[in-house]
Chains A and B, each alone.
Chain A
Amino acid sequence: MYQYNDKDQTLIDERVAQFRGQTERFLRGEIGEDQFRALRLMNGLYIQTHAPMLRVAVPYGLLNSRKVRKLAEIARAYDKGYCHISTRQNVQYNWPELEKVPDILQELASVQMHAIQTSGNCLRNTTTDHLAGVAPDEIEDPRPYCEIIRQWTTFHPEFAYLPRKFKIAVSATTTDRAATQFHDIGVHLVKNESGDTGFRILAGGGLGRTPIIGKIIKPYLEKQHLLSYLEAILRVYNLHGRRDNKFKARIKILVKETGVEKFTEMVNAEWQQIKNGMELSEQRINDIKAHFAPPAYLTNADQDKSFALHKKQDSEFATWIKYNTADHKIAGYRAVFISLKAPDSPPGDITHTQLDAIADLSDQYSFGEIRTTHRQNLVLADVKQADLHQLWQNLNTLDLATPNIGTITDIICCPGLDFCSLANAGSIGITKQINEAIDNQDYIHDLGDIKINISGCMNGCAHQSVGHIGILGVDKKGVEWYQITLGGSSENEAAIGDRLGPAVAKEHVVKTITTILDVYIQQRLEDESFLNTVKRVGITPFKEQVYANH
């Protein structure tokens, strides 16, 4: 993974010192609330219902064992012993003390980590496929480009006070696992007719209150122009994005109101002015690529016989392999998902003991690297098949082997009323109820690929509008109600879910979900997936059943 050089380290150390000074000035009353708010947000610090929340950046979801041990240590020393993986692959602490945050940032800096630009109206953490570098269907490893973008976005002097937050996602595979069509900018690695790798650029996608699918504004961009093109988009957005209404300030509204053709023209005109002189050199790209060189894979890992034997003898292990591991580009290796969706724990939460244990397991089995996913799980990307059985047993004792990745209980859920001051609804509580109601593993597996996303308010942090089943908490005269949508997807065939009908009361949510599942089972053709069934039969059969008994 990327290793800091002296410059990177100096910059984050200086950032810690800067924020320490700002915090001290705030506590002495020398900086106003509003000003400090902007400054702390750009250092990842929110003030929530109970306490501050600190969001730590995990650039493109990549961690190593040293970093994970530090996260565990911080959870012990400064928090209540756990932390949370967010839908943007970052790590969140829910109970730090404001006065201690500079110390936490200093701890993070000691392992090349930070909380820079993880919130606020600025350029946020760039995300990518959690299987980057190991996915069999990859054109090229996207992470070197993510790192190049990370450096460019970090402390960008011109774009620190944008109309609204700004998120970039990069994907390099035919199957989009990074939801690039729902980002302010989506970057796809593609090959042109002569076989050269470049980028397809999308802009104006986004979730939240007004979900919009991004539009292609540049079908093919030569590699060397990546940063000048991003800069052109950002400059057009910074100057023309709406600042009069927070809810209309994202780039998606600018693209929509300007029209994609006109917007593209504006970007291209700006780009023509700046492209010469901002080129990425082949040398620079190669230098960064060297940081992501493949680890020392065994060439005969697939010769191992024990894996097949264990699968045959141990059906639980075989099930786990089926759901919680993915194909790897090297024969004899698999990528392993660590499920943070055990039925009795809030989605994405992880304790300090689990973190320490995962760090050890990664050292032992996966070259010391760990990834976070936007579905709030973790990945050990490079495990040899001979080690899988042992690893599974270890994960099992840690309650990290629930075989539910990609199933209905792999729920994406925002913190909701439990932590967030904007919430209308207790999303974590709903998750728990669903887990209690749907607890039969065979049934869960029979349902197959169903993604539920639950957000506690219109801001949609859990991306409910692209959930196969989306659940959104709404407030009706101080009472929690839930709006259900069906048929959303953030993958290749990006789609925004359709509303099932009127919102349902809290006590009817679980019944509504189980009714939807019953209708699916009645309606599906052989092994047709939930999403395809919804597409084929439409929303009406679901609607009729759900509202029949109301």
Chain B
Amino acid sequence: MQIIKDQKIVENTWTYIPDDTKLPAEISDITVSLSRWNEEYDKLEKYQGKVGIRINPDDSIESLPPSVMKAALIEVNFPVFTDGRSFSLAQLLRTRLKFKGEIRAVGQFMPDQIFYLSRVGVNSFALENQESLADAISMFDDFSDSYQASVN
């Protein structure tokens, strides 16, 4: 699968490991839920591959442990494209926690949302519809200016 990262189409190397699935034996880049991150942090720290975290709209920034700053990737998940909480979560990851690493939108968001998402600090995008990638790239240029300060 391909994703968009820093406005370029690149191969995805990351896999989300659901809570009821064991960590993979082979070394790879994985993300886990916030609860798993909290519960199995010792184990994850020892994992050979890179480890990231997936946060959901119900997770609050205040509830994130300090260790999230060490995450190699933070995914903000969209269960539905209309759930705008992920926009605020990304904004707060950047501005409040000063997270500098990769923030990736995953789930049911639309290509038409990537302009706003990038303005609140999301810098990579895992779009389910692989055919829309080229169109999506052009949407970073939808607007050449803005009325509010951007995170990036």
Contacts and interface: CB of A to CB of B under 8 A. Distances in A.
A, B assembled together = yes
Interface of A: 7, 10-11, 14-15, 17-18, 22, 25, 30-31, 35, 38-39, 121, 151-152, 154-163, 235, 238-239, 243, 273-274, 278
A179 B120 CA distance: 33
Contacts of A159: 84, 87
A155 B88 CA distance: 15
B96 A273 contact: yes
B81 interface: yes
Contacts of A25: 135
Interface of B: 60, 81-85, 87-89, 91, 95-96, 110, 112-113, 115-117, 119-120, 132, 135, 142-150
A273 B119 CA distance: 19
A161 B89 CA distance: 13
B112 A157 contact: no
Contacts of A10: 144-145
B84 A35 contact: no
A38 B82 contact: yes
B120 A158 contact: yes
B142 to A, nearest CB: 5
A35 B81 contact: yes
B119 A157 contact: yes
B143 A14 contact: yes
A158 B115 CA distance: 11
A158 to B, nearest CB: 5
Given A161-B82, A162-B84, A273-B96, A155 B143 contact: yes
B87 A35 contact: no
A105 to B, nearest CB: 15
Contacts of B112: 22, 31, 35, 39
Nearest to A7: B145
29 contacts: A11-B146, A11-B147, A14-B144, A15-B143, A18-B143, A31-B110, A39-B112, A121-B82, A152-B147, A152-B148, A154-B147, A155-B116, A157-B87, A157-B115, A157-B150, A158-B84, A158-B91, A159-B84, A159-B87, A160-B84, A160-B116, A161-B82, A161-B113, A235-B88, A238-B84, A238-B88, A239-B60, A243-B85, A273-B96
B16 to A, nearest CB: 23
B81 to A, nearest CB: 7
A239 B147 contact: no
A165 B147 CA distance: 20
Given A155-B147, A160-B84, A161-B87, 20 more contacts: A7-B145, A10-B144, A10-B145, A11-B145, A11-B146, A14-B143, A18-B143, A38-B81, A121-B82, A155-B116, A155-B146, A157-B115, A157-B119, A157-B120, A158-B87, A161-B113, A162-B84, A235-B88, A238-B87, A243-B85
A388 to B, nearest CB: 40
A158 B88 contact: yes
Contacts of A11: 143, 145-147
A157 B148 contact: yes
A317 B88 CA distance: 57
Contacts of A278: 149
A22 B85 CA distance: 24
Nearest to B108: A35
Which 7 pairs, one residue from A and one from B, show the smallest C-beta to C-beta distance? A161-B84, A157-B116, A157-B119, A151-B147, A158-B87, A18-B142, A238-B88
A154 B60 CA distance: 26
Nearest to B115: A157
A503 B148 CA distance: 49
Contact of A161 (B60, B83, B119, B135): B83
Contacts of B88: 158, 235, 238-239
Contacts of A155: 116, 143, 146-148
A14 B142 contact: yes
Contacts of B135: 25
A161 to B, nearest CB: 3
Contact of A156 (B81, B83, B115, B148): B148
A11 B87 CA distance: 21
Contacts of A243: 83, 85
Given A157-B120, A157-B150, A160-B116, A238 B85 contact: yes
A228 to B, nearest CB: 11
Which of B95, B147, B149 has most chain A Cβ within 10 Å? B147
A313 B148 CA distance: 57
A7 B117 CA distance: 21
A35 B108 CA distance: 10
A163 B88 CA distance: 13
Nearest to A42: B112
